[in-house]
Amino acid sequence: MKDKLLNEVLREYDAYRLQQQEALKQREAEVLSALPELASLRNSLVTSLAQKARALILNPGHSPAFEQEEQLAAQMKKKEAALLRENGYPEDFLTLHHRCPVCRDTGYVGSLVKEKCSCLIQQLLDRTYRFSELSNLDKENFDSFDEDVFPDFPLPDTNMTQKQYMKQLKTVLWDYQEAYPNNPRKNLLFTGKTGLGKTFLLNCLAKAILDKGDTVLKVTSYNLFEHLFRSSFGSIKEDSFALKDRIFDVDTLIIDDLGTETRRNNFTAEELFNILNERYLNQKHTFLSTNLTLADLRECYSDRVTSRLFDTQNTMILRFQGQDIRLRKQRS
């Protein structure tokens, strides 16, 4: 199962690379026919390199100097850039485009020991866990954050309006992602009633972290514990890319809507403690959102969980407050 998925993804990587190489060839053909000067520069470099190669074959003991060609290549690059600019082509027109600059779309990094690139791990994560909710990130991210959806009415207990407050929260989280992954506090806990923008800001963070090349798993608490329960008690056959492992080794785990899961005696509290504790010991980031108050959380989960969650040395607790903007949108 795992290999089948891996092969499928790698085949797509290969196809994408081939497609990009083909597109580059076409762009080259277009430019070379439009700019004969560039074509003749390229030709002289190719001819010169071919002569050197022939000399090397005829006389293997002799090692020719390539200084002249290096100079020619450098000259050509400069000239190429200038010609493209002058003729209105984008700067990277004659460069191969990569989706992932780290592995150049091969899926693997490292020269001696090959390891999966984080982009490949993320692809496997997304496809294995259909409930991993990262599909909204093109709509919900720091660029699309719209402070005007929040009412400009004063909030009780603060000297700010909801809009000003959310603007400030956004800045705090923007700074957090700038410092990522070296944040002293690896956990974030968003608390607040429904429709206050918690999930939106979790998505902003998820996108920013993915863009840095780290892996992210975002699940609702309901789906997470449902899956864990069923895999512990037999009704899900786990493959070797098991959620149990991914929860611990993904760079950032996001648990949305803590408190909506089905309560199963100690099961949820124990599993949640294990997740928080293991990830804490491994210095990994875990972000949670909940509609529950801190007092509710204390009541629902064990002391071990809440002492981890409320440990302000490692957790930044952010309170969301004000009017439900989902309702507000509906009304207008």
Ligand X SMILES: Nc1ncnc2c1ncn2[C@@H]1O[C@H](COP(=O)(O)OP(=O)(O)OP(=O)(O)O)[C@@H](O)[C@H]1O
* 329 Cβ contact partners less than 8 Å away, ≥ 6 residues apart: 149
Closest-approach residue to Mg ion (CB) = 199
145 binds, among ligand X, Mg ion, none (CB under 5 to 8 A by kind): ligand X
Residue from 89, 129, 145, 165 in contact with ligand X (CB under 6 A): 145
State the binding string over 65-104 for ligand X (x if CB under 6 A, else -).
----------------------------------------
Residue from 118, 122, 141, 199 in contact with ligand X (CB under 6 A): 199
Nearer to ligand X, 107 or 192 (CB): 192
Q: Does 165 bind ligand X (CB under 6 A)?
A: no
119 binds, among Mg ion, ligand X, none (CB under 5 to 8 A by kind): none
**How many residues form the binding site for Mg ion (CB under 5 A)?**
1
Residue from 122, 187, 199, 215 in contact with Mg ion (CB under 5 A): 199
Span of 38-46, 189-197, 227-235, 297-305 interacting with ligand X by CB under 6 A? 189-197
Q: Does 191 bind ligand X (CB under 6 A)?
A: no
Site for ligand X, residues 23 to 52, rule: CB under 6 A: none
Q: Does 118 bind Mg ion (CB under 5 A)?
A: no
Residue 268, amino acid:
T
Span of 181-189, 194-202, 260-268, 290-298 interacting with Mg ion by CB under 5 A? 194-202
Q: How far is the CB of 139 from ligand X (least distance, A)?
A: 7
Angstrom distance (rounded) from CA 11 to CA 120: 12
Nearer to ligand X, 138 or 311 (CB): 138
- How many other C-beta atoms are found inside a 10 Å radius of the C-beta of residue 279? 21
Q: Does 197 bind ligand X (CB under 6 A)?
A: yes
State the binding string over 303-332 for ligand X (x if CB under 6 A, else -).
----------------------xx------
Q: How far is the CB of 289 from Mg ion (least distance, A)?
A: 6
Residue from 71, 194, 232, 282 in contact with ligand X (CB under 6 A): 194
State the binding string over 255-274 for Mg ion (x if CB under 5 A, else -).
--------------------
* 155 Cβ contact partners less than 8 Å away, ≥ 6 residues apart: 161, 162, 165, 321, 322
Residue identified by tokens 């980031």 is: 285
SS3 of the chain: CHHHHHHHHHHHHHHHHHHHHHHHHHHHHHHHHHCHHHHHHHHHHHHHHHHHHHHHHHCCCCCCCCHHHHHHHHHHHHHHHHHHHHCCCCCCCCCCCCCCCCCCCCCEECCCCCEECHHHHHHHHHHHCCCCCCCCCCCCCCCCCCHHHCCCCECCCCCCEHHHHHHHHHHHHHHHHHHCCCCCCCEEEEECCCCCCHHHHHHHHHHHHHHCCCCEEEEEHHHHHHHHHHHHCCCCCCCCCCHHHHHHHCCEEEEEEECCCCCCCCHHHHHHHHHHHHHHHCCCEEEEEECCCHHHHHHHCCHHHHHHHCCCCCEEEEECCCCCHHHHHHHC
Nearer to Mg ion, 123 or 223 (CB): 223
- Binding site residues, Mg ion, CB under 5 A: 199
- Binding site residues, ligand X, CB under 6 A: 140, 145-146, 149, 194-200, 257, 291, 325-326
